[in-house]
Amino acid sequence: MLLDNKTILITGGTGSFGKCFAQYVLEHYNPKKIIIYSRDEFKQYIMQGEFKEYADRLRFFIGDVRDKERLRRAFEGVDFVIHAAALKQVPACEYNPNEAIKTNIHGAQNVIDAALDADVKKVVALSTDKAVNPVNLYGGTKLVSDKLFIAANAYAGTKDINFSIVRYGNVAGSRGSIIPLFHNIIKNGGSELPITDYRMTRFWISLTEGVELVIKALCEATGGETFISKIPSFKVTDLAQAMLPGCKMPEIGIRPGIVGVTVVAVGTSLPELVTTLTAIVKGESSLSIGNIVGANIIDLTLILPVCALLSGGELAVSPRSAALDLPVCFALTALGVLPPLASGRFRRWQGAAMLAGYGAYVWALVR
């Protein structure tokens, strides 16, 4: 097996993912050693107590990804590196941008340099769905981090090393996430579960699924890949009712750096289109067309108005993403698409008008 008799290092290893990864690998494989690299001595102490039975194969290093020399020392003799260390709390990153940049961007570059110097074989970096069309600093720093890891493959030269990315959404039950928050409120006798925005949705993945995706990346990566699993989404209000049926759900407003709707890119393939339209019809999420860069004219003149009609209201559109080449802009202007994009809202009547215009345009072409 790939992980048998290998030395694996996990940055940020005392977090939810690191613990689950260590447990999974120790139960299913026979690694030579797993190194937990993190900066919190107390969390390492707690983890040592939880993993007593595996003490002969676990090592704990105090260190920060900001410290390149410490990383170089820790990476000596390591075969695989899982980079999970990051500042992840969106509001914290908004209020402390310098710290987020030092850890999420400079730390990523330090991991890359240390891995190259220590002849590590594979590096898998954890990413987030917030790195796609980022609207907050956390997502922006992770986007830069992803770019650094992908580009690192070009610097490997003759070294037998590759870098890849694993990207997924919110991890169910992870520290600081919404499920533990709701659970604590319920445990303390609360009858209300606060909702930031009634339209808010979350992409859902379990810790075990996240670990299995990382192991898949370790097995299959050849360098430069971004592994993304197809995972379901749910409305936060549905989660609240499932955890505390009949509870009140006061809307408290979104946190700094959070957008009020879920960004869903319209896919050009039929299965993706069916999935998107089904979600709209079922009302499973509040949809936003947030990435139309490079979308073809069929996406924008047919799929977009259909989504608007089925959504039952209006569709949020990100005007800053509407970077289209001149021929497409000309065609869209003729069909009256650009005004809705510029306003940032796409309403039902505009969808109907667009479909009518599209039909007239096609009829003119074929007559």
Q: Which two tokens stand for residue 84?
A: 């999970």
- Pairing relationship of beta strands 80-83 and 7-11 according to DSSP bridges: parallel
Could you tell me which residues come within 8 angstroms of residue 145 by beta carbon, excluding any fewer than 6 positions away?
A: 86, 104, 105, 108, 125, 127, 131
Each residue's pLDDT tens digit, 262-302: 334 434 444 555 555 555 445 444 444 433 333 444 445 55
- Distance CA(41)–CA(23), nearest Å, equals 19
Q: Among all residues, which ones are annotated catalytic?
A: 130
**Angle at Cα 300 formed by Cα 297 and Cα 325, nearest 5°?**
55
Round to whole Å and give the CA distance between 263 and 133. Answer: 8
The tokens of 341 are what?
A: 């994009």
| Strands 287-289 and 33-38, sheet pairing | unpaired
- Give first-to-last CA distance, the chain, whole Å: 63
- Residues of the chain with pLDDT below 70 are 1, 176, 254-355, 357-367
Query: What does the block give as tokens for 126?
Result: 């954890």
Q: Return d(Cα 312, Cα 288) in angstroms, integer.
A: 13
Bridge partners of 81, per DSSP, are 9, 123
For 128-179, how does the pLDDT look when each residue is reduced to its tens digit (9 = 90+)?
988 988 889 999 999 999 999 999 999 988 899 999 999 988 787 777 678 8
- Residue pair 41/15 in contact by the 8 Å Cβ criterion: no
What are the Cα distances from residue 251, in Å, to 96, 193, 236, 237, 286?
A: 26, 9, 11, 10, 16
Q: What ranges in the chain are assigned the alpha helix state H? A: 16-28, 41-50, 68-74, 90-95, 97-101, 107-117, 137-152, 178-187, 207-220, 236-243, 270-282, 297-298, 304-311, 326-335, 338-343, 348-366
- In angstroms, the CA 327 to CA 302 distance is 17
